[in-house]
Amino acid sequence: MAEEGLNFALFPSVGEIAQRQLCWVKPEAPISEAARLMHERGVSSVLIQRAGQVHVFTVEDLLHFTAAGRDGDVRVEGASHPVLRIGEDERVLAALEMLESRHERYLGVEDGAGELVGVVTYTDILASIDPSVLVERKTIGELIARNAVYTFTADWILEDVLCHLHRLEDAIIVVEARRPIGILTTKDLFRLVAAGSPLDVPLGSVMTTPVAATQLAATINEVLVLLKARQIKRAVVVDEAGEVVGVVTQSQLVGFAYGSWVNLIKYHASELRELVGILESKARAYEQEARTDPLTGLANRRQLQEQGGQEIERVRRYATSSFSMALIDIDFFKRINDTYGHLVGDRVLQELGERVSSLVRKTDLVVRWGGEEFAVLLPHTDAHAAAEFAERLCQHVAATPFHANIAVTISIGVSVYRGEESLQALFERVDSALYEAKRAGRNRVASA
């Protein structure tokens, strides 16, 4: 019995940690009313019954909506999405696997009769895990290099920096001489939005102070215990001089600690299957992240280098048809960002990735090269066919307006692989061709 109690403490059921206070709104209710209800009732989501299915509208949805400058009178049903559901007797490991495999952050909890009785969030699950079973020796200093931190002085205007607050774990650190003097979290921003407070105010007037900080020498276990005790989702990391060097979130710490869960197997054999499944899922997710551009969902340079190397090996081994490469750059992209904002700029990048992908063959590889540049690897394609493809793409982009009716043009450099050259040499020739297309006036194709 003692062993069963310990297992339950380490891995509780979803029903034990679910938020049982459900907040329902009508589908036709405006988003501003949904925000007010969430604020008043202290919940992070509202539910909508729509066409016989339960939908959810969350704090994250509200913040994305606000950052896009949309009207708060829009019906909430238009910004909601169906909620995944899980039985209340399932363990948190199963819930965590479901959320991460579907890239979701909220689950509806149902009883044995299939009735919705609660909601559980990704952060609820992380907070339920006992930190005593996680890493006790690895320090924050060994991890902090992997994390970005957004720091601004107190005189910055909130409206200018709210684009950095998307997820519940996100935060902006307010500094003076690189020392933390305040913090503004996504939750703080939500309260301001829900209350209808102005956003054109300096950070110093809305930040929370003082800041709870942790040293680089602190262990993951110590910081997790600190977060759990204070019921916060992130820790500001400072060096010996008290200067900000980073931020670590609860979700990151738990993610880094997954490896230590293997040590539990010898003591908790009944959890073996669930643990192995979670570890494999995490490994696949990390591998996918390492090979994918997070903004567009396209392949990244790593995949291009791998597949390009395979193409070179194919050409050399079988003396078969060669391959080509196209490098694409959005003309005057900085103007788009300066005129419409970075969120619109990001949408243009996503849409260009979608358009290029729609025009290529299944065997071709579309890659986010970096910034506003994309690359396309074209197997079994000679120089003439590559140039034809590039011309067709260039004309298609120029003829069809993008998001927000923005006119976009692109310049493209193309080249075919030559004999015994290296992949790097091909990259350089394609890049030179792209430079020539831009020098010649943009909105055109140049071949090397």
Per-residue pLDDT for 283 more than 70?
no
For residue 185, being part of any structural domain is answered with yes
Per-residue pLDDT for 8 more than 60?
no
424 and 332 within one domain: yes
pTM to 2 decimals?
0.41
120 and 149 within one domain: no
Nearby residues of 314 by Cβ (< 8 Å), 6 or more positions away: 320, 379
pLDDT one-digit tens code per residue, 400-429: 999 889 999 999 999 999 988 999 999 999
Last residue of a domain, one of 200, 233, 257: 257
Under the banding of pLDDT at 50, 70 and 90, the label for residue 268 is: very low
Helices (H), 216-263: 220-230, 250-256
Residue 263: strand, helix, or coil: helix
Higher local confidence (pLDDT), 8 or 252: 252
Confidence (pLDDT) at 234: 83
Confidence (pLDDT) at 25: 93
Residue 334: strand, helix, or coil: helix
Under the banding of pLDDT at 50, 70 and 90, the label for residue 235 is: confident
Total domain count, the chain: 3
Confidence (pLDDT) at 353: 95
361 and 392 within one domain: yes
Confidence (pLDDT) at 286: 63
Per-residue pLDDT for 279 more than 80?
no
pLDDT one-digit tens code per residue, 54-87: 999 988 888 877 777 666 678 888 888 899 999 9
For residue 268, being part of any structural domain is answered with no
**CATH number for position 235:** 3.10.580.10
Higher local confidence (pLDDT), 13 or 374: 374
Under the banding of pLDDT at 50, 70 and 90, the label for residue 289 is: low
Under the banding of pLDDT at 50, 70 and 90, the label for residue 201 is: very high
**CATH number for position 339:** 3.30.70.270
Which range scores top for mean pLDDT: 134-143, 316-325, 394-403? 394-403
Neighbours of 214 (CB within 10 A): 17
For residue 441, being part of any structural domain is answered with yes
Confidence (pLDDT) at 7: 41
pLDDT one-digit tens code per residue, 26-45: 999 998 888 888 888 888 88
Confidence (pLDDT) at 390: 97
Confidence (pLDDT) at 5: 36
Burial (0-12, 13-18, 19+ Cβ within 10 Å), 220:
buried
Under the banding of pLDDT at 50, 70 and 90, the label for residue 13 is: confident
425 and 306 within one domain: yes
Q: Which one-letter DSSP state was computed for residue 394?
A: H
Confidence (pLDDT) at 287: 64
Helix (H) or strand (E) holding 48: strand 45-50
Q: What average pLDDT does the chain have?
A: 84
By DSSP bridging, strand 179-185 and strand 171-176 are antiparallel
Beta pairing partners, 247: 236
Per-residue pLDDT for 439 more than 70?
yes
Q: In what order do the strands lie in the sheet with 410-416?
A: 365-370, 373-378, 324-330, 410-416, 445-447
Give the structural domain span for 373: 301-447
For residue 276, being part of any structural domain is answered with no
Per-residue pLDDT for 253 more than 80?
no
Confidence (pLDDT) at 257: 62
Higher local confidence (pLDDT), 119 or 212: 119
